[in-house]
Amino acid sequence: MSYQVKRSIVSIVLGIIVLGAYCIYAYSNYQSGAIAANDLKTWASTMLVFIGIGIFATIVIQIVFHILLSVGIAVQEKLRNGTVDESTINKTIKAEMVTDEMDKLIELKSMRIGFVVAGIGFVAALVSLILNYSPVVMINIMFVSFSAGSIFEGFTQIYFYRTGV
């Protein structure tokens, strides 16, 4: 499994966890009456907090991921050669992380899929307003669709790495 595929899997898992946490938090608060159905300000601040959590978690997970990757490569080197040479490990890590034109093409194509999902969500959010749903439903649809777009982007990347582009 390549570095890019591993990175995509980490990003998907993180996206699903953050989205799931938001859905559970929002639904339980809505059901208990802690957040009023028409209190847009509280909903907006809740979403902003979760966006912040998502960004922070992404940074932390990426750091942990790179540490684990380095450890994994060192262990592989140790098993293969019996010694751990720092320059060899650095060289292997550098080689693993090379991004070229295929990576950029896959990134662009998957980003397009992500935007399509987010775009569909945006249209659905507007339709919900026309159908007389509250603005809270609209912003929730938008939040979920943008998060889903990001998750779909990760799945699409894995698909292109597996099947080719």
Partner 1 sequence: MAKKILNNIRKLRFFANEMTQQELAEKIGASRQTIIAIEAGKYSPSLELAFRIAEAFGVSIGEVFSHEE
Binding residues for partner 1, rule: CB under 8 A, are 2, 4, 95, 98-103, 161, 163-165
Nearer CB in complex with partner 1: 73/141: 73
Closest distance of CB 164 from partner 1, Å: 2
* Residue 84 backbone zone (phi > 0: left; psi -120 to 50: alpha; other: beta): beta
Is residue 157 within 8 A of residue 4, CB to CB? The reply is: yes
Nearer CB in complex with partner 1: 98/131: 98
Return phi, psi of residue 78, to 5°.
-65, -45
**Angstrom distances, CA of residue 5 to CA of 12, 19, 85, 106:** 10, 21, 26, 11
Closest distance of CB 25 from partner 1, Å: 38
Closest distance of CB 139 from partner 1, Å: 39
Nearer CB in complex with partner 1: 77/103: 103
